[in-house]
Structures are given as C-alpha cells and as structure tokens.
Amino acid sequence: MNDKKVRVTELFDCTVPYLENLFDGCEYPWEMLPKLGKYIENLIKDGIKGFELLSDGVLVGKDVKIYENVTIEPPAIIGDGCVLRPGAFLRGNVVLGKNCVVGNSTELKNCVLLNRVQVPHYNYVGDSILGCRSHMGAGSITSNVKSDKGMVIIKNGDELMETGRKKVGAMLPDDVEIG
C-alpha cells in the first residue's frame, strides 16, 4: 500500500521570485492550472522589476534571445536568460523561469516552466508544470486530453483524485528527464 499523497511542496523548488505565490492555496499542482492566466495577467499589469513589455501582454526579462519565426500569444512571461528557438509557439498562459530553452517546433500552452527547464526539440507542453532543471527529450509530448474526452483523474498514493479538469498534462518534479 502506498497511501502517501504527493503535494506541491514535495515536487517543486519554486525559487522564481515572481512565481513565489503561484501555488498559494493549492495543495496539488493541477489546482493551479485554472488560475494561471489571471496570475500572469496580474503580474503583467503590476510589472516585474527588470522586465520589459515586448508586446501587449508579453513581458520579457534580461538577456532573452528570441529567434525569428517565434510566435508568442499573450499572456506570457519569459524569464531572464531564456532562449526561444525558431518555430517556438507560446499559445498563451505561459510563464518561464530563468534560463529556459524552448526549442524548434515546440508548443507551450497554459503551462509553467520553472528555472533551467529545457524543451528543445519538437515538444508539446500543455496544461503542465515542469520543475526546475527538468528536460523533455526530442519529441516528448504532454498529452493533456484523455482519449474519451472525460474528466482527468490522477492516482496519488492509493487514492484516485478528481481534478475537475478535462485537460491536465504533466507535472514533472525538479530534475526529471523524460524522452
């Protein structure tokens, strides 16, 4: 029997200053997903020290490299030192910590990438949270919709937990490598 439930505080070391309150009131990570858009919009409205408005609804930190042919739909926050490679597509409700790499033909939607996350080639990251230093190998997909289009239920310990959501992708703890 595994009756230990995994909670937010055991999965992520959230040292990104502008995300320090992201999980407030959330015991489990998926509880943050429906709040993400509003959270990002409030950060953009209030501003983040050292960040600049790239376009309406898009804040970027220092030393960010954005290659040609990158699409960024608001709201989005791109942390210091991030690299967005050609063909990257940020579909809104996206926030990146420091030094993340979003690669060629990678699509992000309604997700958080904490510090030093790499999704460098042909990835889809939807309705997900990727912990610090996590890495998705080439072609890794966080499928966020069940094949029966029903509500997502997550096994946590020995308990099946209803998320109340039709879309939940991956919750990758810090230092996880998938591919």
The residues assigned a catalytic role are 121
Q: Where are any strands of DSSP class E within the chain? A: 52-55, 58-60, 65-66, 71-72, 76-78, 83-84, 89-90, 94-96, 101-104, 107-113, 118-121, 124-130, 135-136, 141-142, 153-156, 159-162, 171-172, 177-178
Distance CA 86, CA 88 (A): 6
User: In angstroms, how far is CA 104 from the centroid of its own chain?
Assistant: 17
Distance CA 81, CA 59 (A): 13
Q: Are 20 and 14 in contact (CB under 8 A)?
A: yes
With tokens 């408005």, the residue in question is: 53
Main-chain dihedrals φ then ψ at residue 24, nearest 5 degrees: -55, 130
The 10 Å CB-count burial string (b at 16+, else e) for 73-94 is: bbbbbbbbbbbbbebbbbebbb
